Amino acid sequence: MNTDPAWRSIKVILSNANVPGEGEHKIMDYIRQQRAEQDHDLNTYHVVYSADSDVILLALTIHTNYFRILRISPSNDTELQRYEFINLAKLRTNLENDLKVPDIFQWNPERAIDDWVFLCFLAGNDFFPNLPLIEFYRKNMNFLRDIYKESSGYLTENGQLNMNHLKKFLTRVAEKQVEIFEKEDQGHNQANNNQPAFSIDSVKDQLSRGNPSTIYLGPPRMNPQRAVPISKKEAVKPSSTVPQNSRQRDQRYGEIEQESSEISINNDSNDSARLGGKSWHKKYYREKFNIDLRASKEFPTEVAQDYVRGLHWILQYYFKGVPSWDWYYPHHYAPFACDFSNLKDVSVVFNKTSKPLKPLEQLLAIFPPQYAKYLPKQWQQLILDKESPIIDFYPPDFKIDLNGKREESQGVTLLPFVNKEGLLRALESVYSTLTPEEEKLNRHGYDRLFIHTKNPCYKQFSTLYDNNENQITETNPLHISTKLIEDMTGKIWADNDDTFVRIDAPIEDPITKKKIKNNQVLSVNYRNLRFHGDFNDIKYCLNEGDQAINTN
């Protein structure tokens, strides 16, 4: 912003790790908030640079055609970098045409697209396991779509689930699953005894040519586990129940020194363990949950209740923001679709006063022992010392249930759930050992808004640093509107962090170490106005373009 004239008119919001939340969700919360303001121009164009598929789902929840996603196009050309634009207008049109069922119920394309986003959550998400036999493959989405088009009503409305319609939908899914089991059982009885009960290749073959309504989608494994030693250096992905750590599918923690641990891998192809036949339901809960349904008949319904709470949580998270920071799904596996049939009224009340973990607390919750060196010195013993009150959260040996998959990275990592309260209690004895720099790293902060002195609103912003009795502070921020800043609202106050120096002062580039002798960029703290989740202001824009993805 100091050196490139093209940046001088741009307003930049920086939201770092001290501001809780996932990056793409922060961006969408900002856009959603701006669109909720009465004087906001709903025809404002939004472009997000991201290769994360979550951004597509999030963009669809915004309900606008004026949205594009920019990403790098896979290419072997080393000299010319190519990019792709995902055109949300065309994608929305394609989804509308694909989902529409005339004369079934009153048609609303916006609600149908919301339901499609929800179906994607059923097929796979970052926070809890997908339903057995339902995974995020194209044929499986067609499977869910075809059942959806037989429905009698929408599954969601303004980020809330319609439980009556969901139960009817899952009942139909369950009926199809029974058909799948019966077909698999018949096929198995006719097969050669030397053939495995299940193979990835057979599923791929069926996926390529099968009818979505009858396709065999691949049952979970239920086998005795066998121990397989891992190498001295092995990539291990830790698990956590803390919502803030939701990029587990994308993060890899690299090569980890591991001296003597072993991972127990469940991938036995023993025929007696296959999921099928008349007792498949009992087998599943016995092998996956260690529950005998003869003594605990209500257990599947209880798991289904927990799962419904998870569906409510993730739906609100994507449509309105984090409903609670301390919710988690308390099981490693999902229920079957048939287990939702006995649900009555499910109490879904999230703790809205819950707070996210602080940055260093979050690292303690998600790091394996091999990464202890990245924690404050006195905190390291909490995950290394055998006498630590939370050592059970960090077992040196753990099991991976491949659950019908071929790769370990696709299996279910059977780590214990992290107890947030227990973790915070353990930290009480070592919090006082933090250095001033560590205390700074561990604070929750606010977004920062940067503008150049050439920006039209600079004069107004610079008054935040005037020494007067009515100084604007965090508790008394300045409300900005579109009259002050074009297409932007929020609250601002002075940024007192010494890292961000004042105008005309020298500033050092943290990467190159070169100094900018005369800084011309001002920083202020920025906070979005509270979003109330009102989706009734949706306006429909003209469709644009002929292709959902344009390559330039």
C-alpha R_g of the chain: 26
pLDDT tens-digit readout, 11-51: 999 999 999 999 999 999 999 988 888 888 888 899 999 98
Local structure of residue 434 (DSSP, 8 states): -
Give the pLDDT confidence score for residue 242 in this predicted structure.
42
Strand order in the sheet with 447-452: 12-14, 447-452, 521-527, 490-494, 478-480
Give the pLDDT confidence score for residue 187 in this predicted structure.
61
Cα 24 from Cα 67, distance rounded (Å): 14
Q: Looking at the predicted structure, is the pLDDT value of residue 253 above 50? A: no
Percent of the chain with pLDDT over 90: 47
The pLDDT-based confidence of 136 (bands split at 50, 70, 90) is low
Q: Looking at the predicted structure, is the pLDDT value of residue 532 above 70? A: no
Domains of the chain: 100-222+268-340 (no CATH), 226-267+357-440 (1.25.40), 441-527 (no CATH)
Give the pLDDT confidence score for residue 304 in this predicted structure.
96
Q: Looking at the predicted structure, is the pLDDT value of residue 370 above 70? A: yes
Strand segments, DSSP code E, in 385-463 are 398-401, 412-414, 447-452
The pLDDT-based confidence of 240 (bands split at 50, 70, 90) is very low
pLDDT tens-digit readout, 502-529: 788 888 877 788 888 888 999 999 998 7
Q: Which residue, chain included where needed, has tokens 């996210």?
A: 356
Q: Looking at the predicted structure, is the pLDDT value of residue 475 above 50? A: yes
Give the pLDDT confidence score for residue 186 in this predicted structure.
63
Give the pLDDT confidence score for residue 279 in this predicted structure.
81
Percent of the chain with pLDDT over 70: 76
pLDDT tens-digit readout, 258-267: 333 344 445 5
Cα 466 from Cα 453, distance rounded (Å): 16
Q: Looking at the predicted structure, is the pLDDT value of residue 152 above 70? A: yes
Give the pLDDT confidence score for residue 167 in this predicted structure.
93
Q: Looking at the predicted structure, is the pLDDT value of residue 64 above 60? A: yes
Give the pLDDT confidence score for residue 215 in this predicted structure.
34
pLDDT tens-digit readout, 197-217: 444 444 344 434 443 333 333
Give the pLDDT confidence score for residue 410 in this predicted structure.
87
Distance from the first to the final alpha carbon of the chain? 27
Q: Looking at the predicted structure, is the pLDDT value of residue 356 above 60? A: yes
The pLDDT-based confidence of 121 (bands split at 50, 70, 90) is very high
Q: Looking at the predicted structure, is the pLDDT value of residue 499 above 60? A: yes
Please provide the average confidence, as pLDDT, over all residues in the chain: 80
Q: Are 462 and 522 in contact (CB under 8 A)?
A: yes
Q: Which residue, chain included where needed, has tokens 């929750």?
A: 444
- SS3 helix, strand, coil % of the chain, rounded to 5? 35, 15, 50
Cα 87 from Cα 70, distance rounded (Å): 9
The pLDDT-based confidence of 101 (bands split at 50, 70, 90) is confident
**How far are the Cα atoms of 321, 351, 439 from residue 359, in angstroms, in the given order?**
19, 21, 10
More confident residue, 272 or 441: 441
Q: Which residue, chain included where needed, has tokens 């004026």?
A: 66
Give the pLDDT confidence score for residue 212 in this predicted structure.
37
Q: What is the mean pLDDT of residues 331-342?
A: 93
Close Cβ partners of 437 (under 8 Å, ≥ 6 residues apart): none
Q: What is the mean pLDDT of residues 387-409?
A: 92
The pLDDT-based confidence of 313 (bands split at 50, 70, 90) is very high
The pLDDT-based confidence of 189 (bands split at 50, 70, 90) is low
Q: Which of 120-124, 256-260, 352-356, 418-422 has the lowest mean pLDDT?
A: 256-260
Cα 169 from Cα 121, distance rounded (Å): 15
Cα dihedral 192, 195, 201, 202, rounded to 10, equals 30
Give the pLDDT confidence score for residue 20 in this predicted structure.
95
Close Cβ partners of 269 (under 8 Å, ≥ 6 residues apart): 196, 197, 198, 223
Give the pLDDT confidence score for residue 203 in this predicted structure.
37
